[in-house]
Structure formats: structure tokens, C-alpha cells
Amino acid sequence: MPDTTDTLSLPYIMPAQAQKHVTHNEALRGLDALVQMTVLSTSEQTPPGAPQPGDSHIVASGGQSEWAGHDTEIAVFDGTAWVFYPPRIGWRCWNANAKQYLVFDGADWHEITPSALQDMTLLGLGTSATAQTPFQARLNQALWTAVNEADGGNGSMVATLNKEGATDDLGLVFQTNYATRALLGLFGSDSLRLSVTDDGINFRDVMTMDHVSGRPSLPNLPRFKAFTNYDNFVAEDVWTTIGINTVEYNDQNVFDPATNQFVAPADGTYMLGGVLMYKTHTSSTVRSRSRLLQNGVTEINGAFHENNSAHVSMRTTTKLQTLVSLSQGDTVELQGTARGDDLNFAAGHSSFWGYQVG
């Protein structure tokens, strides 16, 4: 059995040993000096005057007096004399005066600085990194700031993210309780993409921006266009909701062909419009009117039109276009009526459309 421990070389109490307390106390002194190690200096070659018990120093190269022959060793004053502990590779200590964290590489002590942290494979801040995510940080706040010109910098701060190929992914993944809810970056192409998801599997693009033309696209903007596929008969002076029953496109299902209504999916500003084409029913002297009605009761300001000139069947139209602020769940419908007689609004040429603008 060896006389000392393998790592710190602390003495063992041997069988039948006399004065075991001496060996035990020596081991305790070693633990007291080396565990949570702190030194007062690393540049001194000679012992300082009037040391206090427990004072520790790393002996500089060229040690003299009691420190001669103990270069790079930890010298600890035990109240009577200096005790020396030869370091091993990987030992670390805190230099209290210089406020430096030091590590022994087998030959000398080195400050652990950013320049020394090279080719690290794992780094965890407040958490443990893994092979899949070799850098992890568990923080409540983080700040990246530029070095000011007064401090030797240029006042700017640029962070660069890089990917290998155009079809690879590069960007930010936003999660709630580790479940993905949004993406922002170059995912699957070199065009900028902002996408959201409610299940982490199916994503809806809120915005894309082509990297060649710079053209933005809002592929899921609430919008619709629909028309009627039959002639809508309208009696004189009777406002009638037009049977807009055929949908050309209907993003987010904002138009309900069963009720002929647009339903606002969220609070916002909307551009809405409609076209009603006149078709003779019994008289060519009739005049056509159209309007947009909100929530079945309110005529939207700026959304009323009447044609007063002579009508030509399958040519004369009334057209509406307006901006309106709506709350989520508000409905809008296209209505028409006749003045002077009844009429038809023509199938295939009478339509209703809209989209959200903000």
C-alpha cells in the first residue's frame, strides 16, 4: 500500500503507526491549502516578510532562500515554516491579488483567458452542454455590445451566422417549454423566412423575402376573392345580400360561402371591395346600387355606389373599394338593390374580395 494518496499526495495513516494524529493533521493541512485553492502571488522568488498562517504563493522561476528549488510549486505558510505542494496537470487556483484564474499545464501556470479558451468542444453557462448542443446558456438576460471607439473599438457590433449550402438551414428557433413555435432565418433556401407553428410540425410562413429580387411576400395574409355563379334577382328598393357562393381563393378561410360573408380573423385594418354587373330583368331604365354592410346592420362609410346613367346589360357595373377597421369576428357582406325597377346581377361577373393590410 502506498504512503500517500494518488492525486494530492496526502499521507495515509499506516497500521500500527505511532502518533497517528500527526499524519492526520498533515493531511488536513494539505486539504485546507489545496481545496478551493487561492494564492496571493505568482511572481515572487523569495518568501515575503511577516507571512500569516495559511498564506499561499506560487513560487516564481528562480526561487530563492526557503523557496529555492520549488519553482511553480504552491508554497503555504503553516505558521512556522513553508510547506510545498508540487502541482499536477489540471490543477487550478485563484490569484487573489491579480484577480486571475490559473491552471497548471504540467510545466507552468497560465491564466485562463479568452485567448486560452481555444478549440473547446463543450461550453455550458449555468447548465451542462451536450454533444448535440455543445454550447448552452441558461440565463435570464444576455447582452452583446460593441467596443466603443474610446476603448479601442470602432463602435459597431456585428454578429455573423453562416451555413454551408443554400439548401441548409440557418436561423433562430423560438420555443415555449422546448416546443418550437416560430422560425426566423434562411431555412431550406437563401431567402429570408418567418414562420409560425402551433404543433412544431406544420409551419405557416408569415413572411418570405426573395434573396435575389428582394421582393417580400406575405403568403398567409388573410385574403379572399369570391363570385356568384348564378344571376341574383334584386327587387326594387330592397337591399339584398348577394349570393357570393364560389371561392377563387380563401386564405385562412376568412370568407364563408354559406353565409356570403367575410369574417375578420383578427383586429385590424382591411381593404374590401366588390363589383356588381347589371343584367336586364324587365327594364333597361333601372338604376343599380351596391354597398358593403358591417355586422348586418351598418353601412360602411365610403362603401356605397349608384349608377345613374343609362344601363347596358352585361356591361354596366357598380364598383366599391374602401378601407375599414374591424374587430375580430366582425362580418362584412356585399349587398345590392335597384331603383326604378328590378334587375339581375350577373353570374360570373359579380364578385367580392378583400385582404388585411395592418
Tens of pLDDT, residues 249-292 = 999 899 999 999 999 999 999 999 999 999 988 777 788 999 99
Residue 225, strand partner residues = 249, 353
Whole-number Å distance between alpha carbons of 110 and 103: 5
3-state helix, strand, coil in the chain (%, to 5): 5, 40, 55
Q: Is the dihedral of CA 112, 115, 119, 125 positive or negative?
A: positive
DSSP 66: G
Q: Diameter of the chain by CA atoms?
A: 129
What's this model's pTM, rounded to 2 decimal places? 0.58
Q: Strand 56-58 vs strand 100-104: parallel, antiparallel, or unpaired?
A: unpaired
- Ranges of residues in the chain with a pLDDT under 50 are 1, 6-7, 21-22, 32
CA neighbor of 92 nearest in space, from 80, 83, 103: 103
Which DSSP string corresponds to 255-293? EETTTTEEE-SSSEEEEEEEEEEEE-SS-SS-EEEEEEE
What are the Cα distances from residue 258, in Å, to 111, 230, 246, 247? 75, 15, 10, 11
Instruction: Centre a 10 Å sphere on the Cβ of residue 1 and count the other Cβ atoms it contains.
Output: 5
pLDDT at 53: 87
Q: How far is CA 247 from CA 65, 92, 321, in A?
A: 97, 72, 19
What pLDDT is recorded for position 193?
A: 97
- The neighbour count for residue 70, using CB atoms within 10 Å, is 16
